[in-house]
A and B are shown apart, each in its own frame.
Chain A
Amino acid sequence: MKKIISHSYYIPVNSNLYESTKLLTLQSLNNSLQSRMVSYNRFTLDNGLKVIVHEDFTTPMAVVNILYDVGARDENPEQTGFAHLFEHLMFGGSVNIPSYDEPLQRVGGENNAFTSNDITNYYITLPAVNLETAFWLESDRMLNLAFSEKSLEVQKNVVCEEFKQRYLNQPYGDVWLKLRPLVYKQHPYRWATIGKELSHIENAEMEDVKAFFKRFYNPSNAIMVVGGSVKTEDVKQLAEKWFGNIPSVKKELRDLPVEPEQTVEQRETIYADVPLNALYMVFHSPARNEQGYYETDLISDLLSRGNASRLHINLVKSKKLFSDVSAYTTGSLDPGLFIIEGKPLKGVAMEDAEAAVWDELNRLKTEFISQDELIKVKNKIESTMVFSEMSLLDNAMNLAMFELLGDAANLNNETSRYLAVSADDIKGRANSIFRKENSTTLYYLAN
Chain B
Amino acid sequence: MVDRTLTPEFRQVEQIQLIKAEPYVLANNVKLYVVNGGDQELIRIELVFKNVNWTSAKPLQAYTVNSMLTEGTSKLSSQQIAEKIDYYGAFLQMDYNYDYSTVTLFTLTKHLEATLPVIKAIITDSVFAETELETFKTNQKQKLLVSLEKNDYLGRRLFNNVLFGDTIYGYKTESFDYNRLDRSQLLEYFHSAYQPSNCTIIASGKVTESSVKLIDAFFGQDWEKGTDAVPNLFSFASDKGTEHYVERADALQSAIRLGKLTVNRAHEDFPGLQVLNTVLGGYFSSRLMANIREDKGYTYGIGSAIVSLQNAGYFVIGSEVGADVCTAAINEIEKEIKTLQTELIPQEELQLVRNYMMGSLLGSLENALSHADKFKNILFSGLTYEYYNQYINIVKNISAEHLQQLAIKYLDFNDLEKVIIGKR
Contacts and interface: CB of A to CB of B under 8 A. Distances in A.
A42 to B, nearest CB: 23
B151 interface: yes
Contacts of B394: none
B8 interface: yes
B108 interface: yes
Contacts of A264: none
A77 interface: no
A307 B42 contact: no
Contact of B366 (A59, A136, A273): A59
A102 B353 CA distance: 10
Interface residues of A, number: 100
B4 interface: yes
B160 interface: yes
A26 interface: yes
Interface stretch (B179-187, B193-201, B208-216, B281-289): B281-289
Nearest to B2: A241
A387 to B, nearest CB: 7
A346 interface: yes
B322 A108 contact: no
A269 interface: no
B42 A26 contact: no
A132 B61 CA distance: 53
A105 B284 contact: yes
B297 interface: yes
A34 B108 CA distance: 9
A41 to B, nearest CB: 21
Q: Is the interface of B mostly helix, strand, loop or mixed?
A: mixed
Interface string A30-67: 01111100000000000000000000001111000000
A97 B4 contact: yes
Contacts of B2: 241-242
Interface stretch (B224-232, B246-254, B260-268): B246-254
Contacts of A386: 40, 42, 89, 108
Contacts of B253: 161, 164-165, 169
A108 B145 CA distance: 42
Interface stretch (A376-384, A402-410, A433-441): A376-384
Interface string B1-15: 110110111111100
A323 B142 contact: yes
Tell which of A135, A153, A242, A306 has the most Cβ of chain B within 10 Å.
A306
A11 B301 CA distance: 7
Interface in B69-103: 70, 78-83, 86-91, 93-98
A133 to B, nearest CB: 5
A235 interface: no
B205 A108 contact: no
Contact of B299 (A153, A161, A380, A391): A161
B359 interface: yes
B154 to A, nearest CB: 12
B273 to A, nearest CB: 14
A224 B287 CA distance: 31
A16 B135 CA distance: 29
B108 A383 contact: yes
B93 A324 contact: no
Tell which of B95, B146, B148, B151 has the most Cβ of chain A within 10 Å.
B146
Contacts of A23: 63, 96, 173
Contacts of B40: 33-35, 386, 390
Interface in B290-304: 293-304
Nearest to B302: A13
A96 B4 contact: yes
A376 B87 contact: yes
Given A11-B300, A32-B367, A316 B139 contact: yes
Contacts, number: 278
Interface stretch (B313-321, B335-343, B382-390): B313-321
B8 A132 contact: yes
Contact of B316 (A17, A139, A159): A17
A96 B5 contact: yes
A161 B4 CA distance: 34
Contact of A308 (B5, B11, B12, B86): B86
A379 B359 contact: no
Contact of B307 (A17, A61, A108, A155): A17
A13 B282 contact: yes
Given A14-B303, A346-B142, A105 B283 contact: yes
B107 to A, nearest CB: 8
A111 B145 CA distance: 36
A245 B366 CA distance: 34
A22 B320 contact: no
Interface string B352-386: 11011011101100111110010000000000000
A386 B106 CA distance: 12
Contacts of A132: 8-10
Contact of A275 (B78, B148, B307): B148
B143 interface: yes
A108 B360 contact: yes
Nearest to A17: B305
A320 interface: yes
A27 B95 CA distance: 10
Contacts of A263: none
Given A108-B356, A346-B142, A307 B79 contact: yes
B307 to A, nearest CB: 5
Contact of B149 (A35, A136, A274): A274
Contacts of A96: 4-5
B34 to A, nearest CB: 16
A24 B318 CA distance: 19
B152 interface: yes
B38 interface: yes
B4 A136 contact: yes
A319 to B, nearest CB: 11
Nearest to B351: A106
B39 interface: yes
Contacts of B67: 24
A297 to B, nearest CB: 16
B300 A165 contact: yes
Contacts of B145: 275-276
A110 B160 contact: no
Contacts of B11: 107, 127, 129-130
A17 B318 contact: yes
B274 to A, nearest CB: 11
A14 B305 contact: yes
Contacts of B373: 31
B150 A171 contact: yes
Given A154-B297, A165-B253, A375 B42 contact: no
Given A135-B8, A392-B366, 20 more contacts: A16-B318, A17-B318, A23-B173, A97-B5, A102-B352, A106-B355, A106-B356, A107-B11, A108-B13, A109-B359, A110-B356, A126-B359, A154-B293, A157-B322, A171-B146, A171-B149, A241-B2, A345-B139, A386-B89, A387-B91
Interface of A: 10-14, 16-18, 20-24, 26-29, 31-35, 58-61, 95-97, 101-103, 105-111, 125-127, 129-130, 132-133, 135-136, 139-140, 143, 153-159, 161-162, 164-165, 168-172, 241-242, 245, 273-276, 306-308, 313, 316-317, 320, 323-324, 343, 345-346, 372, 375-377, 379-380, 382-384, 386-387, 390-392
